[in-house]
Amino acid sequence: MSEARHQSVAPTRVERLAPGDMIDAHRHDDHQLIYAARGVLVISTLAGTWVTPSDRAIWVPAGHVHSHRAHGELELHLVGMPAENPLGLLEPTVLAVGPLLRELIIGYTRTPEDDSPERRRLRAVLLDQLRASTEEPLHLPAPTSPLLASVCEILYDDPSDRRTLAELGRTVGASSRTLSRLFAADLGMTFPQWRTRLRLQAALVLLAEHVPVTTVAHRCGWSSASAFIDVFRRTFGRTPGGHPLRSARP
CATH number at 71 reads 2.60.120.280
> Which pLDDT score, from 0 to 100, does residue 249 have?
38
| pLDDT grade for 191, boundaries at 50, 70 and 90 | very high
Q: Based on the fold, state whether residues 89 and 150 are members of the same structural domain.
A: no
- C-alpha–C-alpha distance, residues 157 and 142, integer Å: 14
Last residue of a domain, one of 139, 170, 199: 139
Q: Based on the fold, state whether residues 202 and 90 are members of the same structural domain.
A: no
Domain count, the chain: 2
The pLDDT tens digits for 57-77 are 999 998 899 999 998 888 999
pTM (2 decimals)? 0.83
The pLDDT tens digits for 4-56 are 676 666 789 999 999 889 989 998 888 999 999 988 899 998 889 998 888 88
Q: Based on the fold, state whether residues 93 and 180 are members of the same structural domain.
A: no
User: Containing domain of residue 11, as a range?
Assistant: 5-139
The pLDDT tens digits for 139-186 are 899 999 999 999 999 999 999 999 999 999 999 999 999 999 999 999
Type of residue at 126: L
Distances (CA, A) of 247 to 43, 66, 209: 19, 24, 14
| Residue 30, beta-bridge partner list | none
Q: Based on the fold, state whether residues 88 and 148 are members of the same structural domain.
A: no
| pLDDT grade for 250, boundaries at 50, 70 and 90 | very low
Q: Based on the fold, state whether residues 115 and 185 are members of the same structural domain.
A: no
